[in-house]
Structure formats: C-alpha cells, structure tokens
C-alpha cells in the first residue's frame, strides 16, 4: 500500500514541497488540504496591486491555481480545513466547509504549512468592517473594492513596518495621502535610528502624515482613537505584523518555541517523528546569534518547504538558518537590511562597532546617479560582519546581497574590502559603496 502524505496548507510552504516529495517518493499518495479557495499566491504583491503597479486583477498574484495543481496529479482539496491532528493515531480531522461534512484521514507523514496570521491587538472596534488586514488574496480584493469608492479619502495605516510603508505608497499612487501611525519613534524599527530617520524624512517629503510615538487606542466608525488624539478615517489598514498560525499544532501537542512558532529541527521535523512543518508557522535559527527567531518571509517558506519535501521523500536536506534579509522601498527610496542591528548585536553580547557612509550609486558623472547610505555592524575584536543596512536611491538596495554572502561566509570587513566587485560607470563608482563602508569602518577599529 502506498504511503500517504498529507499537507495542511495550500500556499508556499505546502505546495513548494510537493515536487520534492514526488522525486523521492513517486508512488506516495499526496493529499493537500486548503481551507481557502486559492493556492500558491503572492500575498506580498497586494500593496503593488492596490497601488496599480500590478494590472489585471487579483488573479495576477496567483502563481499556480488549484486546477493547475490538480493537473499534476495532486489530490488538492480546497475549502477543506484541518481541524485536529492525532499524533498517536496518525490521523487528521477534516471539515469540508462547502459540504459541511467532517471526516478523518490517516497519514504516514504530515507536513504542516498553516502559515502566519496578522497580529490583531484587542483594540475596541478592531473588527469593524472599515478596518482591514493585509494577508491573503481575499483581503487584497476587499481593499481594491474599497478603493473604488471615491468617498474613501481619509486613510489611516497602523504600523510603519514593511507592510505599512508599502501600503502607504500604494494609496499615494491612488491619489490618497494616508496617515501612518507608529508606536515607536521611527519607521522600520529593525533599522538603526540613523537610517530609520532617513525613511521618516522620505515619507513626510512625499506628503505622508507620519505620526511616530503614537499609540492606537481603538476604532469607531469614521475615527481612529490614538494617544495623540482622534484621526478621521474612512478606511484603516493594519500593518502591525504577522504571527505564526500554530494553534492546530499546539492542540496536537507539538512543541512550540519563540513567539509560539512550531519547533523544528534543521530537517524541518517537529517534535513528533514523521510530522514536519515549514513556512510562517515555524521558528528558525539565526545564523549570526544562533538564537531561535520567528521571521515570516516568503523566501524562507519556499526554502523550508524544499528541505521538508526532500526529507519526507526519503532524502537528507538541512536548513542552515536565516539572516532576516529584507528589501523594500518607500516611494523613491530603497531599503534593505540583513543580519542583526546595533541593538541586537549588543544584546547578544558582541563588542559592537558600527559605521555609516554615504556614497553615489554609480559614477558621479553618469545620468541617474543618487546617494545611498550603507551602515555596517561589525564585531570589533574580529572584524567579522554581523549586519548591514542600506537606504538610498535607485539601484541601492540589491547591494545587500553582497553583505548577505559576506555574513554567511563569516567574512571580515578586511576581506570585504578586497572583494573583486564589478565596476562600470552606469552601475557603480570605482569603489563600490559596500567596499567603501568596509574601508571606512576598518579605520575605526
């Protein structure tokens, strides 16, 4: 009898594992359960859909539809919610939402890819219909529908993280200038304050009303109540962050770790043999500190799913860890970071050296040149790079990948300075800005 493998979740963490499972276990029966109607979609594209950069409707964000998955032979069951896991009996309780029927499926191996869920603090009025999250295609569709109403002019975004910043720009593209409310003293708190201030300046210079050190206290129709007073609001978008959707695993007795994310080893196996997990619902190991972290990124979901799929199929793959690498933009300013920031480095016990430089993105005489700021976070005794942050004009942010490789390889700033980085006037100054940052940081050791 063929081995039965059940996958819970039809987005990246679940679907990206299927091809790897088939390679290792071609005779296995694979059943995928998805409580929604869509699969393999790019929720990260919602702000750009709302802003109009992506044309053609919400379906443009779907990489592979349920029918396309079924055409490959996958037994994919949409509108089927896994409601309980019995780790002893090796069964999953399933609710057919359309037929309102319940049944039990036995499994030999199980992959949990339940993803993340938006953080929704218990503010009064948070469930009112004019308060929106940004998670899943249905939320994107609701935002698009709301924007068709010309009377929707007063928009408030709660949170100035990645989603908050991207949604603020999206509404600017639609001719609305939203108010962004952030409890911290700066947007993007993962950046050191010096670079966070640059993002704040960019946002306000483009007409956004950025209110930092302002706490939301509740909602009522037409108003957001904050510590700084009421703000008129026809529409509210929550960009507070994403937590792991791990309740199903917790109810099954699987171990949970940091932020209540599912504990997995480097093979993506949970605390119960033969039960695996991947994506926004699991914790990861930070490559710099060795500490457990919960970082919800689509890149990790796909990589973790690949590792889990290989191992479910009988192979041996490992997930080495993460750096929290992220990239976005605020209007015409690009933003990128990797590794740990100054505060995190100090908290982890490093003797921290940090330094920032500002450099042109390309030869100073070449059209389109703009400034970029590079900040390096370094372990002073060894010179090893621990983190990097970049804020600047066009063609700035992807230079963070040089720093990603350097941190992963354990390189020092002296070694970074000697890298054979590419040069031509349309792309870089003679000294690449990352190399300049390494050189100037070396002088301060």
Instruction: Please give the positions annotated as active site.
Output: 44
DSSP string, 161-195: SHHHHHHHHHHHHTT---EEE-SSSSSSTTS-HHH
Q: In whole angstroms, what is the distance from residue 367 CA to residue 435 CA?
A: 22
Contacts of 256 (CB under 8 A, 6+ apart): 246, 249, 250, 262, 263
Q: In whole angstroms, what is the distance from residue 138 CA to residue 432 CA?
A: 43
Q: At which residue do the structure tokens 């100035």 appear?
A: 160
DSSP 262: B
Query: Which residues face 86 on adjacent strands?
Result: 91
Q: In whole angstroms, what is the distance from residue 409 CA to residue 384 CA?
A: 10
Token duo for residue 97 = 């939402």
Report how far Cα 306 is from the mean position of its chain's Cα atoms: 18
Token duo for residue 193 = 């304050």
Q: Which of 208, 444, 153, 151 is nearest to 330 (CA)?
A: 208
Contacts of 175 (CB under 8 A, 6+ apart): none
Query: Which residues face 30 on adjacent strands?
Result: 5
Q: Which of 229, 202, 18, 244 is nearest to 114 (CA)?
A: 244
Q: At which residue do the structure tokens 């603020």 appear?
A: 168
Report how far Cα 278 is from the mean position of its chain's Cα atoms: 14
Q: Which of 232, 240, 226, 221 is nearest to 130 (CA)?
A: 221
Sheet-wide strand order for 179-181: 131-132, 235-238, 155-158, 179-181, 209-211
């Amino acid at each position: 009898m063929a081995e039965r493998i059940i996958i819970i979740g039809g987005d990246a963490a679940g679907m990206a594992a299927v091809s790897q499972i088939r390679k290792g276990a071609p005779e296995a029966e694979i059943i995928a359960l998805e409580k929604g109607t869509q699969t393999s979609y790019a929720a990260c594209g919602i702000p750009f859909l709302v802003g109009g950069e992506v044309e053609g409707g919400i379906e443009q964000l779907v990489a592979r539809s349920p029918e396309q998955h079924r055409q490959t032979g996958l037994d994919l069951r949409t509108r089927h919610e896994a409601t309980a896991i019995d780790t002893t009996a090796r069964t999953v309780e399933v609710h057919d939402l359309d037929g309102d029927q319940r049944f039990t499926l036995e499994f030999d191996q199980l992959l949990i890819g339940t993803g993340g869920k938006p953080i929704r603090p218990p503010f009064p009025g948070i469930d009112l219909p004019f308060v929106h999250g940004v998670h899943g295609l249905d939320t994107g569709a609701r935002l698009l529908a709301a924007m068709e109403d010309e009377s929707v002019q007063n928009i408030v975004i709660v949170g100035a993280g990645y989603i908050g910043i991207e949604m603020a720009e999206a509404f600017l593209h639609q001719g609305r200038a939203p108010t962004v409310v952030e409890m911290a003293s700066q947007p993007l708190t993962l950046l050191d304050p010096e670079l966070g201030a640059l993002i704040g300046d960019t946002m306000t210079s483009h007409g956004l009303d950025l209110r930092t050190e302002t706490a939301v206290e509740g909602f009522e129709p037409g108003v957001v109540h904050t510590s700084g007073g009421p703000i008129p609001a026809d529409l509210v978008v929550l960009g507070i962050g994403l937590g792991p959707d791990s309740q199903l695993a917790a109810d099954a007795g699987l171990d949970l770790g940091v932020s209540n994310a599912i504990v997995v080893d480097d093979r993506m196996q949970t605390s119960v043999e033969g039960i695996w997990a991947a994506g926004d619902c699991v914790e990861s190991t930070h490559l710099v500190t060795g500490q457990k972290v919960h970082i919800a990124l689509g890149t990790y979901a796909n990589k973790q799913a690949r590792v889990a799929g290989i191992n479910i199929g009988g192979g041996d793959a490992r997930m080495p860890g993460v750096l929290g690498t992220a990239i976005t933009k605020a209007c015409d300013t690009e933003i990128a970071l990797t590794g740990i920031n100054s505060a995190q480095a100090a908290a982890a016990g490093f003797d921290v050296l940090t330094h920032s430089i500002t450099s042109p993105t390309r030869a100073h005489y070449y059209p389109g040149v703009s400034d970029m700021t590079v900040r390096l976070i370094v372990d002073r005794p060894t010179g090893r790079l621990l983190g990097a942050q970049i804020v600047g004009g066009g063609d700035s942010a992807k230079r963070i990948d040089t720093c990603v490789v350097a941190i992963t390889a354990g390189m020092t700033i002296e070694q970074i300075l000697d890298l054979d980085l590419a040069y031509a006037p349309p792309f870089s100054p003679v000294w690449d800005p990352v190399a300049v940052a390494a050189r100037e940081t070396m002088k301060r050791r």
